[in-house]
Structure 1
Amino acid sequence: MEDILDFSLRIKDLSARSRHASLHALTEEATKTAVLLPMIQALGFDVFNLEEVTPEYIADVGIKKGEKIDFAIKIDKKIAILIEAKPISVSLGTAQYSQLYRYFGVASARLAILTNGREVWFFSDIDEKNKMDKRPFFMFDLQSYDEHQVLELARFQKSSFAMDSILEAASNLKFVKSAATFLKKQLSTPDDDFVRYVGKQIYDGTLTKSVIEQLRPAISSALDELIRNRIQDKLNVTFGQEATQAEQQAEKKAVDEIKTSDIDTTAEETFAFLVVKAIGSKVLPVERITIRDAKSYCSIFVDDNNRKPVCRFYFNSKTTKHIGLFDEQKIETRHHIAEPADIYKFAKEIEQTLSGYS
């Protein structure tokens, strides 16, 4: 596989193109030129070689003649990937991609891509061979992604393309996604079957309906605590000797950002900053989340921009601590916390604020 850092830089450039296209690309053709062709190039394919990248690919389906798919990518002279594009103004959640679905059954491709220049959806035939799955096994947002997603995207590079390993990963991703969807639902509102299953492990009596209702909030709280502790453990590793070189560099960068201020930023404020970064990593690249200390509070911004506030830490009092959260109108509301780790309780609000700056 090509150096992942070089690939990450190419995706970062592609992200900038996608953001620009969101403002200026009004048609499907403009989206193809501004984002899709550079994306194919970023994956290592020669867009000027018709034997490798075929635009307007024709694959007659039954009585449907002359319909065209936007691009067909060939590897070893065999069609490996079909690509259908939509204008960047169109949400893929509502887009029709019946053409891609029909062609998948008659072409030799095992992979299909649907994109609007921002979202990139990857399909295969995991459920039924030679029939494109109705749901993508992997979705990549060019304007909001993390390092793990970049590693997954790197699998599709020409230099490391291996269909068997991609399909195996696709199957794993599908099951992981399905499991994550199920667990996410249980986190917010555990259903009776889930509560009954856990209840059998912790309750000796008969699981009546009233007992299940008593156990439900306790199990929900336990799940919250497990997730909070898991993230806490990961942060502790970052502070400890077991940190990887990449983690050590990330920690050093965070500390360097804090040291740029003449004001003494406390260890608690430093830790709270890293907590917000950990929460925000699902929404924005962590380097966009910045800190600026002041005498009475410590501020967290996106892009170090006063117009993009995320939250404030009020840790100067010896007896009480507060976190200030901002709504869509940038109106601040303070909440009492016992310790910086309690910031995880407001993860949803912080993610929502960060999403407004993506």
Structure 2
Amino acid sequence: MENDLKLKLEQLHQRVDALKEQINTEEATKNAFVMPFIQAIGYDIFNPTEVIPECICDIGTKKGEKIDYVIKKDGEPVLIIECKHWKEQADAHNSQLHRYFHVSKSRFGVLTNGLVYNFYADLERPNIMDDKPFFTLELANLKDSSIKLLEKFTKQGYDFTGILDSAEDLKYIKAIRNEFEKELQEPSDELVKLLVNRFFEKPLTASRLASFKEYARRALSNAINESINSRLKSALNINEKNPSKSEPPEVTSVDGNMESPKFITTEEEAEGAQIIKAILREVVPASSIAFRDTQSYFGILLDDNNRKPLARLHFNFTKKYLELFHNGKDSGEKKLLNSLDEIYQYRSELLTTVANYRQKGGPEELSNEKENSA
């Protein structure tokens, strides 16, 4: 079921991406993007007892107020949806949804622009919608964990208790992570005192506290960087024959202290690089394939040589591209990727790129390559 839902969402993303520039109104956004989403999670958009559009909901003295969609299961409302034009932010107009939520029997609300879906609950106060969503689904950045949670909202897999449990987990994990990120940037007096009092027995004066705050910032940054480097080594298999070629460089300050990295290799970049590596190992040994991450792309090189790019992954934007160099040009040819599996479609181009470099290298390089492969 998860794979089926993922396929539907990927197809919907392609539709949204292709049509959005022609969608000029909120109503068109609802019809072209949001209704197909409701259909994708299993509800019959043509059944007025299951999907109720423009549902009248009186709010106090305001009569005739309408919710864009009310989704019902077994006659009970399970989800209310408020829609905005796709060019508007999906988190900028939650006051209206907040009012609807208060008079609805549903425990979950969605605010969407057709591209991003923000899911809300009432975890803090019963029947009053939380100010922040506990779950956000982006069609342009589908994650397996997001799809797994969305399954609990589908008609077939609706799981009220499971959603509430997940909502609470996500809400507080996100809150703790936000606080942790703040501490990484600027450690608070409370955190510094908590850590320092465990090993420093002298009085903590104001000047010493200021010094220890800087020490704490550097220490936390060091720990994060070392964790990142360790995970990348494992993900990219750089502990093979020549690990030094692919090891990501550490970012240091002038005085040699570690600072936060300017870029971090994502899981998708690591997985895409591994797919390309698996293809290229048909003709070259693993030690000849190097990885380099930059702020604008993730590069795959032959012999760790900048003049021999094999491919580049442009995954830092909404659309993901694979850049190929099979034509022997300095600038590559970009191919749109809807999924990482599509990289396999360019196997012949990747192998052609290697062949072009080897032909330029001459018989001696080819001979050395055969010896290394052996």
TM value normalised by structure 1: 0.71
Partner of 1:230: 227
Deviation at 1:174, TM superposition (A): 0.9
Render the CA deviation track for 1:65-93: whole Å, top value 9, x for unaligned: 11111100001110010000000011134
CA shift digits 1:139-193 (9 cap, x unpaired): 2222234333333333322222111110111111111111111011111111211
Q: Which amino acid aligns with 2:56?
A: I
User: Counterpart of 2:372?
Assistant: none
**Which residue does the alignment assign to 2:122?**
125
CA distance 1:154–1:291, change in 2 (3 Å): farther
Residue number in structure 2 paired with 1:67:
65
Shift, 1:201, TM fit: 2.5
Between structure 1 and structure 2, the one with the greater Rg is 2
2:206 to 180, 205, 209: 209
Equivalent of 1:150, from 147, 164, 178?
147
What CA distance in whole angstroms lies between the structure 2 residues aligned with 1:130 and 1:268? Answer: 56
Structure with more contact order per residue of length (Cα contacts < 8 Å, sep ≥ 6) = 1
Q: Is there any run of 5+ residues in structure 2 with no aligned partner, and where?
A: 238-267, 315-320, 324-330, 335-374
Equivalent position SS for 1:121: strand
SS at match of 2:92: coil
Instruction: Tell me, yes or no, if the aligned pair for 1:263 and 1:295 is still in contact at 8 Å.
Output: no
Alignment partner of 1:304 is 2:326: no
Q: Structure 1 CA distance, aligned partners of 2:185 and 2:49?
A: 51
* Kept after mapping to 1: 8 A contact 2:273/2:300: no
For 1:296 and 1:236, how far apart are their aligned partners in 2? Answer: 24
Shift of 1:12: 1.4
Contact 2:91 2:118 in 1 (8 A): no
**Cα displacement (A) at 1:206:** 2.0
Report how far residue 258 of structure 1 moved: 4.7
Number of residues paired by the alignment? 288
Deviations 1:232-267 (A, max 9, x none): 444455467xxxxx9x9877514135548x787746
**In structure 2, do the counterparts of structure 1 residues 161 and 253 end up closer, same or farther at CA, with 3 Å as the change threshold?**
same
Q: Which amino acid aligns with 2:307?
A: S
- Correspondent of 2:49 among 51, 57, 66: 51
Indicate if the aligned counterparts of 1:124 and 1:132 stay in contact, CA closer than 8 A: yes
* Structure 1: distance between partners of 2:212 and 2:197: 11
Cα 1:193–1:268 shift into 2, 3 Å: farther
Structure 1 unaligned segments of length 5 or more: list them: 241-245, 281-287, 310-358
Q: Contact 2:35–2:45 at 8 Å: present in 1 too?
A: yes
Match of 2:300 among 267, 283, 291: 291
Aligned to 1:113: 110
Q: Does the alignment pair 1:101 with 2:109? A: no
Q: 1:28 aligns with which of 26, 49, 53?
A: 26
1:227 & 1:161 partners in 2: Cα distance? 38
Query: CA–CA distance in 2 between the matches of 1:229 and 1:267?
Result: 25
Deviation track 1:13-50 (CA, whole Å, cap 9, x = no partner) reads 12222323432211111111221111111211111121
Root-mean-square deviation (CA, aligned residues, Å) is 3.2
Over 3 Å counting, the alpha-carbon distance change for 1:194 and 1:150 in structure 2 is same
Contact 1:257 1:291 (8 Å CA) reproduced: no
The answer to whether 1:256 aligns with 2:253 is no
Preserved contact between residue 291 and residue 304 of structure 1 (Cα < 8 Å): no
Quote the offset at 1:105 in angstroms.
1.6
Give the direction of change, closer, same or farther, for the CA distance of 1:197–1:104 in structure 2 (3 Å limit): same
User: Residues 115 and 254 (structure 1 numbering): CA distance in 2 closer, same or farther, change over 3 Å?
Assistant: same
CA distance in 1, matches of 2:139, 2:145: 13
Matched, 1:15 2:13: yes
Q: Which residue of 1 aligns with 2:290?
A: 269
Query: 1:84, 1:114 within 8 Å by CA — same for their partners in 2?
Result: yes
Paired residue type of 1:215: F
Are residues 36 and 201 of structure 1, via their aligned partners in 2, closer, same or farther at CA, if it must alter by over 3 Å? same
